[in-house]
Structure 1
Amino acid sequence: MLKPVLLVCGWCGPLTLVVTFIGWLIAGVLPFPLGPSHSADEVAAFYGGGIQVSAGFAVATIGISLVVPLIASLSHLMITGSPESRLLALVQVVSGSVTAAMLLIPMLIMAVAAFRADRDPELTVLLNDLAWLLFITPVAPFIIQNLAIAASAIRDPASPIPPWVGYLNCWIAFTFSFDVLAMVFHHGPFTWNGVLIFWLALTTYSVFLLVMGLLVRHRARIGTTV
């Protein structure tokens, strides 16, 4: 009975992406998210845009939460390898869980910002800054998760994760390393909504969700169990 559960967990990778994007489109985060250079009036106008903003963030919280089954299923696969991979599976599940929390909490803060349209605009800006910087800059757990998966895939011949997926995770971890710069920049490609921060990380994390979800489903179909 393990196979159906793994298949569902695998689908949670792509579903995380689809449901979260739907929520962001409803809220108005996409296609052009707010940046640190937006004025207090512009930020307040965004969060005062009506019930669809709150509804969009509610949908996004559901989408982001779907990553949890994927994280658990990846560790489930990793523990089928060597003792080293079993330890790395624990690293992956802990760092992945922290990652999920750091993605979820900013959506809740944005929902709080949208809850009262009559709030002082400066307070709304504070909530917006807090949400975006929490969402973008705490990249260490992301990187640790990627490197744990990579080490298991590359170093362990018995790992059910192929080496090319390990190298892909190394590349994804590297692309996340730029995100801490969002704490410094207010203009240009290194802002939290910039090309080399938001859009690069969004692209590579989307690749991660799709590839890892399909991998879990592939292993489930060929009968990988513990």
Structure 2
Amino acid sequence: MHRSPGTSIELAQALIGLFTSGDYSPGDRLPGERSLAEALNVGRSTMREALKALAVLGIVEVRQGDGTYLRRTTSDLIPHMVEWGIVLGDRSLESMAEARQYVEVSLAGLAAIRRTPAEMDAIQQAFDVMSHAAEHEDIPTYVRGDLDFHLAIAGGADSEVLAGILRSIGGLMTVWTQKVLGQITLTESLEVHRPILDAMRAQDPVAGRHAMDNHMRQAIKYFQSLAVD
């Protein structure tokens, strides 16, 4: 008889171990919720919550009416984040979003003051990619542009510690952006970023922090809705 995982972290680790044991490849359909719960000797509700957390991380993809599929992880950091328990559970997901808010708001304020003309060009270029993608409803290109936009601002802040924190969760940021774009249009998302761009161009740190804070507050709202879906 299998020993039941004692915590949600242990359950997530057990699932990752199961999915990466060599029996499954990215894109494979995974066993059903009931089968997984029986295999790991846990309740179905507990299994459902663990799968939801792994879906938010981008480790699995839940397709309504079709099942759960293993997907290629987008960041080497993700398994460690599960181990640390950073994003398991609704409250932890919200805490992660709040931590990102603090880092990004700080970076925006610093970048507005410190960014060089070349770094401003990189910020503008990323925004232009997002704008073109929004016009053509090209979600994958928009998501890449969004990540580049935030990382370009981080680069302009000239704060290696804060920028390093943001870069370390780049894969997770991409997953989050993809999920948020399931709730709002590309144009709506783009317009939230425009005041940030304007503040960077004007070298206005107060406006930069305010615009980024507004963006992050909206993101937290979407993360909260993801947690209860």
Which TM-score band applies after superposition, normalised by the shorter structure?
under 0.3
Question: Higher helix proportion, which one?
Answer: 1
* TM-score between both structures, scaled by the size of structure 2: 0.27
The TM-score normalised by the length of structure 1 is 0.28
Structure with bigger RCO (C-alpha 8 Å, 6+ apart): 1
